[in-house]
Amino acid sequence: MASLLCARLCHDLAGPVGAVNNGAELLNEGGAESMDDARELISSCAGQAVRRLRFFRLTYGSNYGSMDWSGAMQTSAAMLADSKITYSWDGYYDGAEGPEVAAVVLPPYN
């Protein structure tokens, strides 16, 4: 399980972190016009990395036992903001906590 988690973290963070690096290179190379593009790229991709890290902390962190629906829905929606993927929250109920919420949010690893 630990190796799957590490692989998932590395895979999901490689894109945004690599794009931040590319933006930094643009800042060093370009003129005024490319500076705005580089700043936008860095800001967008850094935000994406932060949203993914928050999702991973929520789902895989040691405090997942205190996870609630509201937090899970907000964090999941933020992580998927730039994605074609959406969660369907049909049938959720506010009384669920911890492992019940984690069972819905966590991707299956077989």
Average pLDDT estimate for 82-90: 77
> Taking the alpha carbons of 51, 53, 85, 64 in that order, is the dihedral positive or negative?
negative
pLDDT digit string (tens) for 10-39? 888 888 888 888 888 888 887 777 788 888
Q: Is the pLDDT of residue 110 over 50?
A: no
Q: Report all structural domains of the chain as residue ranges with CATH numbers, in order of start.
A: 2-105 (1.10.287.130)
pLDDT digit string (tens) for 58-78? 777 766 556 677 777 888 888
Supply the DSSP string of the chain, one letter for each residue: -HHHHHHHHHHHHHHHHHHHHHHHHHHHH--HHHHHHHHHHHHHHHHHHHHHHHHHHHHHSTTGGG-BHHHHHHHHHHHTTTSS-----TT--TT-BTHHHHHHHSPP--
Name the average pLDDT for the chain: 77
Q: Is the pLDDT of residue 105 over 70?
A: no
Q: Is the pLDDT of residue 98 over 80?
A: no
> In the prediction, which pLDDT does 10 show?
83
pTM score, two decimals? 0.68
Q: Is the pLDDT of residue 109 over 80?
A: no
